[in-house]
Amino acid sequence: MTAGFVLTIALVLAASGYGYVQFTSLSKQVADLASTTERLQGTLADATTTLGNALKQEKQNLQAQLGDVKDEVGSIGGTVTDLQKLSKTDPELLAKYSKVFFLSENYAPVRLVDIPSQYSYFEDKQHQIIPEVLPYVKKLLDQATEDTVALYIQSAYRSFDAQESLKGGYAVIYGAGTANQFSADQGYSEHQLGTTVDFITTGTGGVLAGFQKTEAYEWLLENAHRYGFVLSYPKDNGYYLFEPWHWRFVGVKLATDLHKSGDHFYTMDQRTIDTYLISLFD
């Protein structure tokens, strides 16, 4: 073996050892890089999940806040609507008047409309009522007809002067003391509001006396509240003699509540009555 060959083998072996070392080092670096990449991917996945959850929660928070804002805006809008409705509703329409408060001689409904003649007992006599109440009284009378009950209007709106004249006539006929028991003084009559009617039926000779003994009266007791009407002066009231024919519109809600409870309009506190003003024509 020559010295040159030995030298060549030595160089080859040396080169092979160096390459192996390099290969081992490179493999380790690749393994470390793969591990680092895997760790980074895990970290990125965790960060993505955390961020997604945070964004989802923030979205839910914003939606909840938006819902609160909508509710608040809706509440404000509802309040504004209620105030607008109240501003257009005459507060006098649910006030108590008979021997309690006084309606000025200058008071009159803003508008009055004629009640169609077919609803009047005397067809040649024209009756009026405020326009908001007309649909209710027509429905009431139409339903009575459908139920084969003869029910008509004998009187409706009366002005301050008309009430004064009527009361004066009663005083002449019956005497002032007796007239005071069944007829209101001018300014204290519910008829001046334009929401009140006197009902009459057939078989009474065209007069109101005896109305409480009729089928029409019994029908009103069972059904009038459905159309917003209440009996103003029931038996044993503290204002006037029993007037079974005299019915006042107070709104379906209040009339229904009074019917269910068995109470009467004039036994209620005025402050409680006032809470029904907003639903008067609902």
CA distance 193 to 159: 8
CA distance 7 to 10: 5
Are residues 206 and 132 part of one domain? yes
| pLDDT of amino acid 88 | 86
Lowest-confidence segment of 9-18, 134-143, 235-244 by average pLDDT:
9-18
Listed residues 36, 61, 88: the one ending a domain: 88
181 contact partners, CB below 8 Å, separation of at least 6: 240, 241
Neighbours of 236 (CB within 10 A): 6
Average pLDDT over residues 225-244: 91
Which pLDDT band holds residue 188 (cuts at 50, 70, 90)? low
Listed residues 30, 54, 88: the one ending a domain: 88
CATH number at residue 258: 3.30.1380.10
Are residues 25 and 104 part of one domain? no
CA distance 212 to 227: 20
HSE-CB at 50 with a 13 A cutoff on CA atoms is: 6
Higher-pLDDT residue of 185, 97: 97
Are residues 62 and 120 part of one domain? no
Average pLDDT over residues 9-14: 48
Q: How many helices (H) and strands (E) does the chain have?
A: 7, 6
Residue pair 241/269 in contact (Cβ under 8 Å)? The answer is: no
Residue pair 101/134 in contact (Cβ under 8 Å)? The answer is: no
Are residues 246 and 133 part of one domain? yes
* Chain position carrying tokens 């809600």: 253
| pLDDT of amino acid 212 | 96
Which pLDDT band holds residue 68 (cuts at 50, 70, 90)? low
Are residues 153 and 48 part of one domain? no
Residues in the chain: 282
Helices (H), 107-248: 134-146, 160-174, 176-182, 215-223
List pLDDT tens digits, range 206-216: 888 899 999 99
Are residues 66 and 47 part of one domain? yes
Phi then psi for residue 152, to 5 deg, are -140, 170
Listed residues 61, 88, 115: the one ending a domain: 88
Percentage of the residues of the chain whose pLDDT score is greater than 70:
73
| pLDDT of amino acid 247 | 98
List pLDDT tens digits, range 81-94: 777 877 889 999 99
Are residues 181 and 106 part of one domain? yes
Are residues 167 and 30 part of one domain? no
* Chain position carrying tokens 């007809």: 145
Query: Containing domain of residue 53, as a range?
Result: 1-88
Neighbours of 185 (CB within 10 A): 14
Are residues 147 and 14 part of one domain? no
Are residues 141 and 24 part of one domain? no
How many independent structural domains does the chain possess? 2
Question: Which contiguous run of DSSP H or E holds residue 247?
Answer: strand 246-249
Burial 249-269 (b: 16+ CB within 10 A, else e): bbbbbbbebbbeeeeebbebe
List pLDDT tens digits, range 247-265: 999 999 999 999 999 999 9
**pLDDT at residue 167 is higher than 50:** no
**pLDDT at residue 63 is higher than 60:** yes
Are residues 66 and 41 part of one domain? yes
In this prediction the pTM is 0.67
Which pLDDT band holds residue 229 (cuts at 50, 70, 90)? very high
Are residues 71 and 21 part of one domain? yes
